[in-house]
């Protein structure tokens, strides 16, 4: 079975020091990069998604509720929108073959809303590579990882969630999201247990 790794939104703004930091984000960036280097022979394709906002309406709010509205983050052209250095190094070394962007003018939690530089949606990128199963990791467990994983299941992919290569905005909603992914037929596993 052809297998892809989808790395969700491992960007500076979602890490410690960024505009919408997720606790453990920097550690996830380093561990995901190590995983890609160690497991490169297992993947036929490695894709990274980016949250990439210009004017996403009420996704940004001056007084965000951190559920449906957020501080400004991942604004196109700012350092916060860039992939974390350990991840951008993988792009430079061609260990990540595709970067897909979402959310220019709307909220977009799922990587399946993202397009590659040629305007090709993630689903087509995966289908063109004849991918049947995906491993998913990144930020944040309870938002963009959750949405990406559930859409991957809806589109018929087998899904493994690498839970130790994810971090949540909120611990409790992170736990709930993992249960939801499991109920949707995903395998929850750790990088070390695979
Ligand atoms: C995300 C909150 C707002 C994410 C994106 O990448 O999980 N979370 N926008």
Residues 36-61: tens digit of each pLDDT: 999 999 999 999 999 999 999 999 99
With a 6 A CB cut-off, is 142 part of the ligand 1 pocket? Answer: no
pTM (two decimals): 0.98
pLDDT band at 23 (very low <50, low <70, confident <90, very high): very high
Ligand 1 centroid – CA 110 distance (Å): 9
Residues 6+ apart with CB under 8 A from 4: 43, 44, 45, 46, 47, 126, 129, 131, 133, 134, 135
pLDDT band at 191 (very low <50, low <70, confident <90, very high): confident
Average of per-residue pLDDT across 133-151: 98
Ligand 1 centroid – CA 21 distance (Å): 10
Q: What is the pLDDT of residue 161?
A: 98
Average of per-residue pLDDT across 119-147: 98
- Beta carbons within 10 angstroms of residue 139's beta carbon: 31
With a 6 A CB cut-off, is 140 part of the ligand 1 pocket? Answer: yes
């Amino acid at each position: 079975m052809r297998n892809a790794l989808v790395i969700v939104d491992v960007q500076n703004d979602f890490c410690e020091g960024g505009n919408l930091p997720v606790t453990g984000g920097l550690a996830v960036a380093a561990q995901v990069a190590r995983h890609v280097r160690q497991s490169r022979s297992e993947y036929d394709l490695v894709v990274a998604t980016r949250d990439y906002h210009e004017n996403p309406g009420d996704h940004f709010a001056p007084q965000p509720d951190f559920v449906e509205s957020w501080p400004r983050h991942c604004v196109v052209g700012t350092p916060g929108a860039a992939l974390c250095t350990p991840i951008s190094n993988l792009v430079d070394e061609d260990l990540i073959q595709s970067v897909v962007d979402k959310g220019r003018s709307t909220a977009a939690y799922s990587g399946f809303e993202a397009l590659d530089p040629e305007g090709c949606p993630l689903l087509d990128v995966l289908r063109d590579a004849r991918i049947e199963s995906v491993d998913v990791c990144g930020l944040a467990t309870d938002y963009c990882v959750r949405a990406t994983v559930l859409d991957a299941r809806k589109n018929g992919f087998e899904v493994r969630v690498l839970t130790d290569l994810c971090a949540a905005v909120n611990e409790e909603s992170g736990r709930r999201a993992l249960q939801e992914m499991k109920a949707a037929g995903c395998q929850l596993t750790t990088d070390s247990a695979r």
